[in-house]
Chains A and B, each alone.
Chain A
Amino acid sequence: MPTTTVKSIGSSGRDYSTIQAWEDACPSNIVTSDEIWKGECHDDSEFVVSNTEILTASGITTDDTRFLWLTTAAGKGFADDAGAASWNLRYDTSVGVAVRTTGNYSGGFHCGSVRVLIEGLQIKFASSWGNSSMFSGSNCMRRCLIDSEKGNTSTNNGRLINCLIVDLSTGFHHAARADAVLIACTIVRPSDASSAGTAVTNSYSLYPSLKSCAVFGFATNFGGTIASYVSSNNNASNSSSVPGTSAQASLTYTDQFENTTNSTRDWRVKAGSSLISNGSRHQGTEGTFSALGTNDLDILGRSRSTTTPTIGCWEVVGGGAFTLTADAGSFTLTGQNATLTRDKVLTADAGAFTLAGQNATLTWGRILTADAGSFALTGQDATLTHAGAGSFTLVADAGSFTLTGQSATLLKTRILTADAGSFTLSGQSATLTWSGEPIVSTPREPQPGYDWGAWVRKLGGPETPYDAYQFTNRKFKDKGNPYE
Chain B
Amino acid sequence: MAEILLRVVDKTNEDKALDAQCSKRGDVIVVKPDGWPWGREELKSDVWRIVKLPGVDPDSLFDLTVPQYADGGEEQVVVRKRAKTLAIDKLDSALLTKIDEQKAGDSKAVVELVSKEASDLLAQRETKADGVVRIG
Contact = CB atoms under 8 A, between A and B. Distances in A.
Given A59-B21, A110-B76, A112-B21, A21 B29 contact: yes
Given A20-B29, A103-B62, A58 B76 contact: no
Interface centre among B22, B36, B78 (most CB of A within 10 A): B78
A98 B38 CA distance: 18
B123 interface: no
Nearest to A204: B74
A14 B42 CA distance: 10
B39 A15 contact: yes
Contacts of B13: 28-29, 59-61
B30 A21 contact: yes
Which range holds the interface residue count of chain A?
35 or more
Given A14-B40, A28-B12, A59-B18, A51 B62 contact: yes
A24 B11 contact: yes
Interface stretch (A5-13, A89-97, A380-388): A5-13
Nearest to A58: B21
A150 B134 CA distance: 36
A267 B73 CA distance: 34
A22 to B, nearest CB: 9
B23 interface: yes
Contacts of A61: 13, 15, 18
Interface string B6-40: 01000111110011111100000111100011111
A24 B19 CA distance: 13
Nearest to A106: B62
Given A28-B18, A29-B14, A21 B66 contact: no
Interface in B117-136: none
Interface stretch (A131-139, A356-364, A390-398): A131-139
B14 A12 contact: no
B67 A133 contact: no
Interface residues of B, number: 39
A59 B22 contact: yes
Nearest to A179: B74
A17 B38 contact: yes
A59 B19 contact: yes
A16 interface: yes
B96 interface: no
Given A56-B67, A59-B21, A14 B75 contact: no
Interface in A166-195: 177-178
B11 A52 contact: no
B5 interface: yes
B30 A53 contact: no
B41 interface: yes
Given A24-B11, A24-B23, A58-B81, A13 B40 contact: yes
Nearest to A56: B67
A303 interface: no
Contacts of B29: 20-21, 24
A60 B18 contact: yes
B39 A17 contact: yes
Given A14-B39, A16-B41, A28-B12, A58 B30 contact: no
B92 interface: no
Given A12-B37, A136-B76, 18 more contacts: A11-B37, A14-B40, A17-B30, A17-B42, A18-B30, A24-B29, A28-B11, A50-B62, A53-B65, A56-B67, A56-B81, A58-B18, A59-B21, A60-B13, A61-B15, A61-B18, A105-B62, A113-B18
13 contacts: A9-B39, A18-B30, A20-B65, A29-B14, A50-B59, A52-B62, A58-B18, A58-B22, A59-B13, A59-B23, A112-B21, A113-B18, A178-B74
Sorted from nearest, which 3 A-B pairs have the closest CB atoms? A59-B22, A58-B21, A59-B21
